[in-house]
Amino acid sequence: MGERILLVEDEEKLARMVEMELKYEGYRVEKAFDGRTGLEWARSGEFDLVLLDIMLPQLSGMEVLRRLRKESQLPVIMLTARDSVMDKVSGLDSGADDYITKPFAIEELLARIRAALRNHGGHDSQVLTAGELSMDIDRHRVTVRGQEVELTKKEFDLLCHLLENKGRVLTREALLDSVWGFDFVGETNSVDVYIRFLRSKIDEAFGIKLIHTVRGVGYVIKDE
Ligand code: CA
């Protein structure tokens, strides 16, 4: 909560009503009553989402969106005055994340705001690091000093688990359970084998020391 929403809407009564509801939900809200001010504020970097009316004085909502999209991927939900297919199509073509037709139920607007914020947040992929190594989980990509390291799925999963527990010593049994699963049938030395693969691809290949053996206990990954 606490995301900052810019509401660009010239119908002041509607704007006040929406502002009140959004604030009640815990959002911070600023109102702009014309397109020019709306564009200026949207560019300021101070907001997490824009609610943008289409029929606006000075600069239309469509024009605000077109100009904003040249420099920013800030989530924008268009407010269309009527159920006009043209408005929706051109709004989405111009890069709006969503649209809602007036009059709308506040619950529907809130649901669309949450969805737009969630989708936008999803672009930031989770990255784990140790020393000069970094793992981008969503992109399934591991690099050391920016150079990509090719890993098999099992090697990736093992490294991911070690990184998620950076600084903590994990026993072979714990690693087997988490990475291979409880129903694993085979040698417990699989962990040692895969640790060896990782060391050869990471520590030895780049002359660094990230993966450490704790004798009689297990393994730990540490920042160098
Ligand atoms: Ca209007």
**8 A C-beta contact, residue 219 and residue 212:** yes
pLDDT for 123: 46
Fold of 127-221: Arc Repressor Mutant, subunit A (1.10.10)
Residue 133, pLDDT score:
95
Position 118 confidence tier, pLDDT thresholds 50, 70, 90: confident
Average pLDDT of the residues in 104-127 = 81
pLDDT at position 84: 64
Q: How many Å lie between the centroid of ligand 1 and the Cα of residue 62?
A: 12
Q: Which CATH number fits domain 4-120: 3.40.50.970, 3.40.50.2300, 3.20.20.210, 3.40.50.720?
A: 3.40.50.2300
Pairwise pLDDT comparison (137 vs 27), residue with the higher score: 27
Q: How far apart, in whole angstroms, are the C-alpha atoms of residue 102 and residue 53?
A: 10
- How far is ligand 1, taken at its centre, from the CA of residue 102, in Å? 10
Q: What digits encode the pLDDT tens for the residues 18-77?
A: 999 999 999 999 999 999 999 999 998 889 999 999 989 999 999 999 999 888 889 999
How far away, in angstroms, is 48 Cα from ligand 1 center? 22
What is the whole-number distance in angstroms between the Cα of residue 13 and the centre of ligand 1? 11
User: What is the average pLDDT value for the chain, to the nearest integer?
Assistant: 88
**Ligand 1 center to 56 CA (angstroms):** 5
68's CB contacts (< 8 A; 6+ apart) are 39, 42, 43, 50, 74, 76
Provide the residue ranges of all domains of the chain, joining segments of one domain with +: 4-120, 127-221
Choose between 107 and 186: higher pLDDT: 107
Q: What is the pLDDT of residues 61-110, one digit of tens each?
A: 999 999 998 888 899 999 987 666 666 667 677 788 888 888 899 999 99
Q: What pLDDT sits at residue 82?
A: 66
**How far is the centre of ligand 1, averaged over its atoms, from the C-alpha of 99 (Å)?**
14
CA of 67 from ligand 1 middle (Å) equals 18
How confident is the model over 144-185, as pLDDT tens digits?
998 999 999 889 999 999 999 999 999 998 898 888 876 666
Find the 77 Cα to ligand 1 centroid distance in Å. 14
Chain segment 193-211, per-residue pLDDT in tens: 999 999 999 999 999 999 9
